[in-house]
Chain A
Amino acid sequence: MLGGMVIDGMDVAENSDEPPIDAIAGLLVRTANGSQAAFAELYDALAARVFGLIVRVLVDRAQSEEVLQEVFLEIWQSAARFAPNMGQGRSWVFTIAHRRAVDRVRASQASSTRDARAGRRDLDVPYDPVAEQVELSVAGREVVAALNALPEAQRESLTLAYFGGYTQTEIAALVGAPLGTVKTRMRDGLSRLRMELGVTS
């Protein structure tokens, strides 16, 4: 029986015709009203995924720990800015985490060292070994499959931007393509990803 289960932060409704309840959104609303207990639940539900995202971008564990704290502090302070009708709670949390991780990686690492980092680090999601994919959530495996459906140039532009923290100008230099081409790849890649995932906001 699926009723009452929590899957990836979404409660599965007893009646399967109903849309899933956004558990994270509920915790954010309670947090906005001052509930430290709700904040603790939020941390327990998402900290490992948030930290995983930050580490993927920053690599450096010490800096990642600092950014993790900054992210959750910002969540506490600005939870009132989350509007449940504007999107999923998880998306709001990951958007904050991603922005802070990219800001930090740009502030602390010059382009040349980031290039070297990119060479060592596996930026290309679909080439993760199967063993690593087992650690991903159902949602994560779905996104990996969706990304794999993209043409390589589009996928590369998305992952260089999202996990590499590179600007469009830097990506153009990295891949040796005109800036306009990179912009088009990002636009088309993101649109295609949304289509593959069936994302609604």
Chain B
Amino acid sequence: MSETPTRKEFDDLAAGHALGALSASDAARLAALRLAHPEWEHVVAEDVETAARIADTARPVEPPIGVRSALLSAIAESPQDPPGDEEAATHTAHARAADPPARAERSPSRRWFGLAAVIALLAVLSVAGIWGVTTLTRPASVVALEEITAAPDSAHAKVALPGGGSAEAFWSGDLGRAVLVTEELPPLGDGEVYELWYVRGDTPVSAGTFDAATGTTALTGEFSTGDVIAVTVEADGGSPTGSPTTDPLFAIETS
């Protein structure tokens, strides 16, 4: 049985991922392909299971005596993910950056649209972080994501939101396109949408709207390297003025 190039590429990436050996760009490429092809997810699961067996060949070593009691003290004060999160684990991608995530470690705080508002960027996660997306809400956008991550100059960066959600942007200057993958954005009220923006210098340009707090969305219009990708909450149909009317939920710098 012959394999299509994408399936072969996926199979190679899955093995590298299970062994923890992917470069940052390959990890991002795999993440995009997993979104696009949930029917191949079992390949990743099987490879992870197989690789975990290699751990059995390491000789056991008794840990230092104090670790057990230190842990039992620590967990008494540590919160836990609530039960019912198993579905998130189904599509969890443990990607890893091969290079120090220099871009992601910058924490920008700058004037926004000339206003006094400070961008609400808290922790900027590493370039290839942990995420879980269980449904495809925009298949066409996922195709765009595949194309972007296949471009030689593709890059990505992820931010964590104060409320616990996250947003990861993927872009390619050569293709002039960008895609945003979000997880659990703050929920919208009635009559509201999320609006995407390319911010060039201080000028925000609308890049479309979407209403899913968790999903994948292609930005409309042309992306230029250096654009800041941002999302605000606006009235249905997008901001009537053509400019943001609220402070951004987050902003992602592209290089």
Task: Count how many chain A residues have C-beta atoms less than 8 Å from C-beta atoms of the other chain.
Answer: 80
**In contact, A94 and B55 (Cβ under 8 angstroms):** yes
Q: Give complex CA distance A135, B58 in Å.
A: 10
Interface flag for A60 (CB, 8 Å): no
**In contact, B20 and A102 (Cβ under 8 angstroms):** yes
**In contact, A48 and B56 (Cβ under 8 angstroms):** no
Contact of B81 among A73, A81, A135 (CB under 8 A): A81
Q: Give complex CA distance A170, B21 in Å.
A: 9
Q: Give complex CA distance A128, B57 in Å.
A: 10
Interface positions, chain A 149-170, Cβ under 8 Å from B, are 158-159, 161-163, 165-170
Residues from chain B with a CB closer than 8 A to the CB of A79 are: 80-81
**In contact, B56 and A81 (Cβ under 8 angstroms):** no
Q: Name which residue of chain B comes closest to A48, CB basis.
A: B60
Residues from chain B with a CB closer than 8 A to the CB of A171 are: 21
Provide the B13-55 mask, 1 if CB < 8 A to any CB of A, else 0: 0011011111100100000000000000010011111111111
- With contact pairs A48-B60, A48-B62, A80-B81 given, residues A68 and B50 touching in the complex (Cβ less than 8 Å): no
**In contact, B88 and A81 (Cβ under 8 angstroms):** yes
Interface flag for A118 (CB, 8 Å): no
Among the stretches B71-79, B162-170, B174-182, B217-225, the one at the interface with A is B71-79
- With contact pairs A69-B71, A190-B18, A201-B49 given, residues A136 and B56 touching in the complex (Cβ less than 8 Å): yes
For chain B, which range describes its interface: under 10, 10 to 19, 20 to 34, or 35 or more residues?
A: 35 or more
**In contact, A65 and B63 (Cβ under 8 angstroms):** yes
Residues from chain A with a CB closer than 8 A to the CB of B151 are: none
**In contact, B57 and A99 (Cβ under 8 angstroms):** no
Residues from chain A with a CB closer than 8 A to the CB of B74 are: 69, 73, 76
Q: Give complex CA distance A110, B213 in Å.
A: 40
**In contact, A162 and B53 (Cβ under 8 angstroms):** no
Interface flag for B190 (CB, 8 Å): no
Q: Give complex CA distance A125, B58 in Å.
A: 8
Interface positions, chain A 94-149, Cβ under 8 Å from B, are 94-95, 97-99, 102-103, 106, 125, 128, 132, 135-137, 139-140, 142-144, 147
Jot down 30 A-B pairs with beta carbons below 8 A, ordered by A: A47-B68, A48-B62, A52-B58, A56-B58, A65-B67, A69-B67, A73-B71, A76-B80, A80-B81, A81-B81, A81-B88, A86-B90, A91-B52, A91-B53, A95-B94, A102-B96, A144-B57, A161-B21, A165-B20, A171-B21, A186-B21, A187-B11, A187-B12, A189-B15, A190-B19, A193-B54, A194-B47, A194-B50, A199-B53, A200-B46
Besides the known contacts A48-B60, A161-B19, 8 further A-B residue pairs in the complex with CB atoms under 8 A apart: A52-B61, A80-B82, A82-B89, A94-B52, A143-B54, A169-B98, A170-B98, A197-B53
- Residues of A at under 8 Å CB distance from B? 32-34, 36, 39-40, 43-44, 47-49, 51-53, 55-56, 65, 68-69, 72-73, 76-83, 86-88, 90-92, 94-95, 97-99, 102-103, 106, 125, 128, 132, 135-137, 139-140, 142-144, 147, 158-159, 161-163, 165-171, 183-184, 186-187, 189-191, 193-194, 197, 199-201
